[in-house]
Homo-oligomer: A and B are copies of this chain.
């Protein structure tokens, strides 16, 4: 009698599951979740994005270059009608996934992936901007040739300056929460993952609780980019009020959706933390 081998989720499957669990948490004020959608950005767009991203995630887990893996993940994620659903989450998860190619996921291994990125990774990263619209600020003075909105046209400027993808992220670390994670060894993401593993109850509830805690702890850089610093600070303060019990998270969620306030960076950190936790002790 032949026996069936035990089946466990692979790192790439855990990464896909993390994307799906992130969007399934509710309420997450301002973001699409199981109970809230925008007219042109639906729950199903995020679901299809997670399905389409899988091949790129698998490449990263197999040890393919980070830039190439990310490019493939974005190309697959984009095959749905909602546009850019999971760009930041994939930018955060791909190096974490790449770290699992050489052993269990640790902060050291993840930082090592960033250190080992190349100029080719940076070129592949820029190529993404040919395919998706990503909300970004004007580049700082002197960085105009590297404006990501130039897409693959920035290739020569990257090569001339011999910029690796890690170095590129460092340039944006002060104003982009995901670039900050890349540059600083993913401190918020790993800390959040620890919290997810210590709490209990349905994972999607833990994810939404984590979202609120993170939203109250730092301004969301995507809200700064999409709106302004004042709005981002208000978002942080309103999240603090929810944690104090002074505001209702469901009402806040409705208000933020109505105002088009979408704390995307915070959601990306939750997705990254879910991936780390699934690679650890978190069970679904």
Contact = CB atoms under 8 A, between A and B. Distances in A.
Given A34-B35, A202-B42, A48 B284 contact: yes
Interface stretch (A13-21, A216-224, A255-263): A13-21
Contacts of A80: 284
Contact of A127 (B4, B5, B45): B4
A276 interface: no
A152 interface: yes
Interface in A56-96: 71-72, 75-76, 78-81
A211 interface: no
* Chain A: number of interface residues, binned into ranges: 35 or more
A52 B4 contact: no
A47 B21 contact: yes
B203 A20 contact: no
Interface in A10-62: 13, 16-17, 20-21, 24, 34-35, 37, 42-45, 47-48, 51-52, 54-55
A283 interface: yes
A205 B21 CA distance: 20
Given A4-B71, A20-B51, A76-B7, A44 B152 contact: no
A155 B3 CA distance: 13
A83 to B, nearest CB: 12
Contact of A20 (B4, B20, B72): B20
B204 A44 contact: yes
A131 interface: yes
Contacts of A43: 24, 34, 204
A43 to B, nearest CB: 6
B204 A17 contact: no
A31 B51 CA distance: 23
A34 B27 CA distance: 12
A209 to B, nearest CB: 14
Contacts of A284: 44-45, 47-48, 80-81
Interface of A: 1, 4-5, 7-9, 13, 16-17, 20-21, 24, 34-35, 37, 42-45, 47-48, 51-52, 54-55, 71-72, 75-76, 78-81, 127, 130-131, 152, 155, 202-204, 283-284
Given A21-B44, A43-B204, A81-B283, 8 more contacts: A1-B152, A4-B71, A5-B75, A7-B76, A8-B79, A24-B47, A37-B202, A45-B284
